[in-house]
Structure formats: C-alpha cells, structure tokens
Amino acid sequence: MLVKNRKRKNVLKIVLILGIILTIQLCSYMKYEVEGASKSTSQVSSSKKKVKKLKIVMPDGPYTYTGKKRNAEVKVYDGKTKLKNNKDYKLKYKNNVNTGKASVTITGKGKYTGSVTKYYYIAPGKPSLKNVYFNAKSTQAEISWKRDKKASGYAIYMSTKKNGKYEKIKVIKNNKTTSYKKTGLKSSKTYYFKIRSFVVVDGERIYGKKYSTIKSDTGLLSKVTLNYAGSGSNRNYNMKRASAKIKGTVIKPGKQFNWFNVVGPASKAKGYKKAGVIVNGRTTQGYGGGVCQVSTTIYQAAQKAKLKIVERHKHSAGVPYTKKGKDATVSYGSKNLRIKNNKSYPIKIVTYTKKTKTICEMYRII
C-alpha cells in the first residue's frame, strides 16, 4: 500500500509539472500573438497620411447669401496630386445657409486619416438703393434704401463722377436704419451714391461683393440757358439785376411765382439802365431792356419742369435769344409772368447770368 501511494504521488507531481510547462508555453504564444497583432495594426496606422498635412485650397472672399446652402469649393492636394472627394476624403458642411461664419470639415478616407475644419463667410447680397433726393435749400442729400434683414449694417459711398473713385462717407451699424442725410454739398455739383451691406462676424465686418445700383439726384427739375451774343453792357447789367431779384425764390405747393411781386418794375428808379426793348413790333431804347431774356428763361425752365403756366405773353416781334413763339415778355402793370407750382413739394428757382447768357435752374426741395 505504501508503494502504491508513493507511485500515485509521483504521477501527480509529473502531471502538475507538465501542466505548468504547458501553461507557460501557452502564455508565451498568446503574448507573441498579441504583440504581433499590435505591431501589425501600428504599422497599418502609421502608413496612412494625416489630413492636416495635406494642402487644402479654398477660394478667397465671402460667398453671397442666396437663401440656399452655400457649399464652399474645396480642393485637396497630396503634393501635386489632386485628391478625390468621397474617395480620399469626405466633406461635411455646417451653418452654410444664413449670413455669417460657415464651416466645412475634411475627413480622410482610404490612405488618409484624421480631419481638419476650415471656416468661410457668407455675406449679404446686393442691397437695394431706393432714392436719392437733393435738397437745394440746405444743400444736403437724403439717401434711402430697402432694409436687408440678413445684414448687420450698411456702408454708403459717394463720388462726383459716376464712374469715378467712390469714398466711404458713412457706416450704418443698425440694419433697421434705412436712410441717411449727407450735408455740406454744393448745388453746383452732381453727386453719385451707392451702398454695400455687411455682416459682423467675431467683431469683423464682412462686406458683400455686390454694391447697389448707382443713383444720383441733385433735385434739379430743369435747367435752361439762353444767350444773345449781341447783348451790350447795359443790357447785361439789367439781366444781372433782375436775376438777382429772383435768385433763391421758393414756390410752395399750390402757390404761384409772380413776376410783378418778385421783380417789380424795371424802371430808372429801381436802378435799371436803358437798352433795347421791343415796342409794337419795333426795337427801341427803354429802361430795363434785357429783362425779358430772364423772364423767357424762367418760362422755358418752368415748362421743362412741367409746371402750370398761369399767365404768359409773347413779344410783338421775334427775339434773338430763342425761337419764335417760345418767349415770355413782361411789362409791369400789363404783361405779367405767373407760374403755379402744381407739385407736392416746394420748388426753388435759381437764376444767374454769365455775361450775355441767362441761366435758370429749378430744384425740388425736400
């Protein structure tokens, strides 16, 4: 019995030793397999190129808001090789409908790994400039435009030449503001205006690429110039004197311009000199000769502005400064010139002379 027990113990020892040896070998094998697999995975991962090391090209400048998705054009290069979308990489856009900052994420595929996010801007579209009104009385222009709800504000530009250089004269920071008055202008000049919308992103103004249509309005309704080259010094003096009486006269809506009331008699007592006048179809010398060239200039400017002519008289003979039948003579107490303002706004009459020329300009006042 004692011998048998010893044999059993020896067998158990051998089995235990063999078990330990097998366990050690199995663990070594498993470790080898895991290390090999890890090494293989690491080699595959390291063979892929990261997207951030690729060359990513996107257009300069903002995209214009259209109300639809604006997907930025993206080109990806590995060296000189242009990669293909959905094969080498994929794109995902975000916030690309409204004005502001949009983004596109480029994620690698196939031989490429990782991702990069690029940002671009969507700016407001072309703004709508409604009107430009020039106030001849205060020499200011009022510019108005249609509100752009997708903009943060507007920039206003001005020039004295339509195709000339434009200067930014004002930045409107509230998109609800739709008008602006520019003061300090000159009635002798023509001004042109245009506007551009912008959106504020991270404290920076991003301007739209498109300007509004250029508009100009000096408020000038009409301008007429008449000339009589044979006019003498006395006649020129009389024209200048009468023009000075009229210059700056304002006719309110529904009211009339009345030559008798504004200019009065062209007499010696009023400081006028003798010059050629037409009496009963014949030319003779009389005080105030030449003032009818001024009245005729006003009459023609009123016609051009489409004002209502209440009273007007022709000369008894043709005159050298206009076509026959286009004149308007005046003679205090008998032949008056009356013009009614049939518009909804006041009209300013500006008259002046340049040697033998008489000029009349009619302006709308706002």
Is 2 part of any domain?
Answer: no
Asked which of 79, 102, 122 is the last residue of a domain, the reply is 122
What pLDDT band is residue 22 in, cutting at 50, 70 and 90? Answer: low
What pLDDT band is residue 345 in, cutting at 50, 70 and 90? Answer: confident
pLDDT score, position 125? 96
Closest by alpha carbon to 217, among 175, 178, 185? 185
Minimum mean pLDDT among 5-9, 63-67, 336-340: which range?
Answer: 5-9
Minimum mean pLDDT among 97-101, 121-125, 203-207, 313-317: which range?
Answer: 313-317
pLDDT score, position 34? 45
Same domain, 229 and 294: yes
pLDDT score, position 32? 46
Is 213 part of any domain?
Answer: no
Same domain, 172 and 269: no
Q: Is 35 exposed, middle or buried (0-12, 13-18, 19+ CB in 10 A)?
A: exposed
CA 81 to centroid of chain Cα atoms: 42
- pLDDT above 60 for 207: yes
pLDDT digits (tens, 9 = 90+) for 128-141: 999 888 776 668 88
What pLDDT band is residue 54 in, cutting at 50, 70 and 90? Answer: very high
Find the Cα–Cα–Cα–Cα dihedral 71, 77, 80, 84, rounded to 10°.
-70
- pLDDT above 50 for 167: yes
pLDDT digits (tens, 9 = 90+) for 249-266: 999 999 999 999 999 999
Mean of pLDDT values over 13-34: 58
Find the Cα–Cα–Cα–Cα dihedral 171, 173, 175, 179, rounded to 10°.
-40
Say which residue, 1 or 140, is predicted with more confidence.
140
What pLDDT band is residue 365 in, cutting at 50, 70 and 90? Answer: confident
Is 307 part of any domain?
Answer: yes
Mean of pLDDT values over 179-198: 90
Interstrand relation of 179-182 and 140-145 (parallel, antiparallel or unpaired): antiparallel
Q: Is the pTM of this model over 0.85?
A: no
Closest by alpha carbon to 217, among 190, 183, 196? 190
Calculate ∠ Cα 328-245-141, nearest 5°: 95
Strand order in the sheet with 249-251: 220-227, 357-364, 347-354, 249-251
- Strand (E) or helix (H) holding 2: helix 2-46
Same domain, 295 and 310: yes
The enclosing domain of 143 has a CATH number of 2.60.40.10
Q: How far apart are CA 311 and CA 316, in angstroms?
A: 16
- pLDDT above 90 for 24: no
Q: CB-based contacts of 36: which residues, under 8 Å, 6+ apart?
A: none
Say which residue, 124 or 276, is predicted with more confidence.
124
Q: How far apart are CA 83 and CA 318, in angstroms?
A: 85
Same domain, 94 and 198: no
Residue 165 carries which DSSP code? -
Is 93 part of any domain?
Answer: yes
CA 55 to centroid of chain Cα atoms: 37
Q: Report how far apart, in Å, the C-alpha atoms of 96 and of each of 27, 73, 150 are.
A: 56, 12, 13
Calculate ∠ Cα 263-268-274, nearest 5°: 100
pLDDT score, position 248? 84
Q: How far apart are CA 19 and CA 24, in angstroms?
A: 9
Q: How far apart are CA 208 and CA 200, in angstroms?
A: 11
pLDDT digits (tens, 9 = 90+) for 284-314: 899 999 999 999 999 999 999 999 999 999 9
- pLDDT above 90 for 281: no
Is 1 part of any domain?
Answer: no
Minimum mean pLDDT among 35-44, 119-128, 138-147: which range?
Answer: 35-44
Q: Which domain holds residue 79?
A: 49-122
For the chain, give the number of residues. 366
Q: Report how far apart, in Å, the C-alpha atoms of 274 and of each of 264, 265, 287 are.
A: 17, 14, 4
Q: Is 263 left (phi over 0), alpha (psi -120 to 50) or beta?
A: alpha
Same domain, 171 and 229: no
The answer to whether 121 touches 201, Cβ cutoff 8 Å, is yes
pLDDT score, position 132? 87
The answer to whether 175 touches 151, Cβ cutoff 8 Å, is yes
- pLDDT above 70 for 37: no
% of the chain surpassing 90 pLDDT? 73
- pLDDT above 70 for 25: no
Minimum mean pLDDT among 44-58, 139-153, 189-203, 336-350: which range?
Answer: 44-58
Same domain, 91 and 138: no
Asked which of 149, 174, 207 is the last residue of a domain, the reply is 207
Mean pLDDT of the chain: 89
User: How many domains, in total, are found in the chain?
Assistant: 3
The answer to whether 55 touches 76, Cβ cutoff 8 Å, is yes
The answer to whether 259 touches 251, Cβ cutoff 8 Å, is no
Coil/strand/helix, residue 153: strand
The answer to whether 64 touches 122, Cβ cutoff 8 Å, is yes
Closest by alpha carbon to 187, among 249, 244, 137, 250? 137
Q: What are phi and psi of 122, to 5 degrees?
A: -115, 115
Asked which of 122, 149, 165 is the last residue of a domain, the reply is 122
- Strand (E) or helix (H) holding 259: helix 259-262
- pLDDT above 90 for 121: yes
